[in-house]
Amino acid sequence: MDDSPWTVTLYYEDGTQDNLRVMMPMVVEDMSDAYVPKRLLTEEEISELEDVSTSSSSSPADLEAEAKEAAGAYYMAAGLENWDYTYENLDSSTQSQFTKGEWSKKNQWFADNGSVIYHIDSMDRVGTSSEYLGVNLTLTYEDGSSSTRTTYFIYDDGEWKHGFGQEETDLFMPDASYEKFVAARE
């Protein structure tokens, strides 16, 4: 048994994978495997490899690409009125301001009072953090008019989540009941 450099491929449930170069003790357990060294990893070794993978594969460019994908999926779900998806993809701070039912009702009110198409124009780092991005949107309404808005995506608990800025906080009125929200809009 020797320590040898090997490429280890980690396969994740979401279909992605990471290749890592590691030094591992190897043994040939079965001569019928054409002398291919194999080793079953313990749960602790798998955890250590995942930690190495997470820390080595999170470059700012990778994070920004993941954020762009998350923002695109979020706004596609909003356009399809998939309020469950949008609620589950709010950062923890924003999500804590709404119940799931209240979130759905307020979003549905906006959808019932004018459809909108979301277009992501650009994404920019906020400050020096690569885990907090401003997303510049153009919103095009059913009458053809448009407006711009900056929203935020935050790397929260290992995933990119939508977080409210002041403009969206003012728009959704998290401290107001649904009835007060509707009354303020009419």
pLDDT in tens, 87-123: 999 999 999 999 999 999 999 999 999 888 889 998 8
The Cα–Cα gap between 9 and 68 comes to: 26
Residues 129 and 172 both lie in one domain: yes
**Full-model pTM:** 0.66
Residue 92 CA from chain centroid, whole number: 12
Counting the structural domains of the chain, the total is 2
Q: Of 56, 84, 102, which closes a domain?
A: 56
Residue 30, domain extent: 2-56
Angstrom distances, CA of residue 64 to CA of 75, 84, 155:
16, 24, 10
Average pLDDT of span 46-67: 64
| Residue 148 pLDDT greater than 80, yes or no | yes
Beta-carbon contacts of 141 under 8 Å, excluding residues fewer than 6 positions away, are 114, 115, 116, 147
Same-domain status, 26 and 91: no
pLDDT at 146 over 70: yes
Residues 34 and 13 in one domain: yes
Q: Which of 31, 21, 27 is nearest to 39 (CA)?
A: 27
